[in-house]
Amino acid sequence: MSDKLVKTESEREHSPGEKFYTREVAAQYEALRQNDRYWAWENEIVDHCLRTFQVGDQIADCPVGTGRFMDIYARHGLRVAGIDISRDMLDEASKKVAAAGLTGRVELIQADASGMGLEQALAKALICFRLLHLISDSNLNGVVKGLAAIPSQTIFLQVFNVKDFNPGRVAGRVLHALGSGEIGVVRKLKYVYRTMRALGAALIGPKKAAPANQHKQNTFCDVTYAHPLSRILSTFAQHGFHMKDSFDFRDNAHLMGESGCHISMVLVLQKSSPLDR
Ligand SMILES: C[S@@+](CC[C@H](N)C(=O)[O-])C[C@H]1O[C@@H](n2cnc3c(N)ncnc32)[C@H](O)[C@@H]1O
């Protein structure tokens, strides 16, 4: 591991989430999550996003965690730089690498995402799943800067817990609900009503920000930050990445809520120079 990739303890501010992924949490990480309602969906999206890559292409995965996508990378014949701050998660990932027959095609690197830099091998894409909800407000810019410094043109970024009132995407989700065969007319009307109510609250409701950007209830670990989608996008834009596409998680349980609130989302961000914009 390059020393340049890791800031010294005195330089770096810890993300609370990073300390969580040790020992038994690492050992049980997948067993406790792989039956949840969005795990399989996220795997399908990664498989879908990687379909245009060629056998032998290099990608980066940060945070690689336990290497949950190794079978997918093997299927696409990719070479992978897997980066994570937790030694215990990387130990689990190395078992996956061997099981997927990827030994020699995957490099596992222990590093802080906020310390990444151009010394990383050129990657065709960066996969970044389930990281930003662990990153505090004050660390967000540093982590995004680090992710953007990994030399890749495209970032597939998964985010949790966003309120998203982009008109095109809200309309898309409402149309999806109205056309859904999974729910009856009454629930469809409730969904549209709740969406209108949420939109109204967002447009004319109190503008006072919540004192802390931390969920009281969370299902993931001790620390979950809900960065608004607009903040995530503007932070990546400051580092040259702009959203080109997005995938929403939509299912029956989602349709019990409202369109501006969904649980897991994958953004496709592309690097562009100011002249391209
Ligand atoms: C919820 S897991 C996600 C792992 C994998 N991407 C997935 O989707 O299963 C979060 C991972 O982020 C890692 N992590 C937390 N803070 C980090 C940081 N600052 N730099 C690199 N990795 C970090 C943790 O060690 C953990 O493995």
Query: Tens digits of per-residue pLDDT, 72-90?
Result: 999 999 999 999 999 999 9
For residue 113, the CA-to-ligand 1 centroid distance in Å is 9
Cα separation, 243 vs 156, whole angstroms: 10
Domain range summary for the chain, segments of one domain joined by +: 3-162
Specify the pLDDT at position 1: 36
* Atom from ligand 1 closest to the CA of residue 139: 19
Closest C-alpha residue for ligand 1 atom 8: 129
Give the predicted TM-score (pTM) of the model. Answer: 0.87
The reply to whether ligand 1 has any atom less than 6 angstroms from the CB of 15 is yes
Please tell me the predicted confidence (pLDDT) of residue 219: 44
CA 82 – CA 59 distance, rounded (Å): 9
Q: Percent of the chain at pLDDT above 70? A: 82
Interval between CA 261 and ligand 1 midpoint (Å): 24
- Read off the pLDDT of each residue in 119-138 and give the average, rounded to a whole number: 88
Q: How far is the CA of 147 from the centre of ligand 1 (A)?
A: 12
CA of 144 to the centre of ligand 1 (A): 14
Asked whether 85 lines ligand 1 (CB < 6 A), one says: yes
Q: Once rounded to an integer, what is the mean pLDDT over residues 33-60? A: 94
pLDDT value of residue 274:
61
Averaged confidence pLDDT in the chain = 85
Domain 3-162: which CATH class? Answer: alpha beta
CA 150 – ligand 1 centroid, Å: 16
Q: Once rounded to an integer, what is the mean pLDDT over residues 207-223? A: 48
Tell me what percent of the residues of the chain surpass a pLDDT of 90.
56
pLDDT category at 13 given cuts 50, 70, 90 is low
pLDDT at 7 (0 to 100): 45
Is 70 exceeded by the pLDDT of residue 4?
no
What pLDDT sits at residue 143?
Answer: 95
CB of 131 within 8 A of CB of 21? Answer: no
Whether residue 223 is predicted with pLDDT greater than 60 in this model: the reply is no
SS (H, E, C) the chain: CCHHHCCCCCCCCCCHHHHHCCHHHHHHHHHHHCCCCCHHHHHHHHHHHHHHCCCCCEEEECCCCCCCCHHHHHHHCCEEEEEECCHHHHHHHHHHHHHCCCCCCEEEEECCHHHCCCCCCCCCEEEECCCHHHCCHHHHHHHHHHHHHCCCCEEEEEEEEEECCCHHHHHHHHHHHHHCCCCCHHHHHHHHHHHHHHHHHHHHCCCCCCCCCECCCCCCCCCCECCCHHHHHHHHHHCCEEEEEEEECCCCCHHHCCCCEEEEEEEEEEECCHHHC
**Does 63 sit in the ligand 1 pocket, CB within 6 Å?**
yes
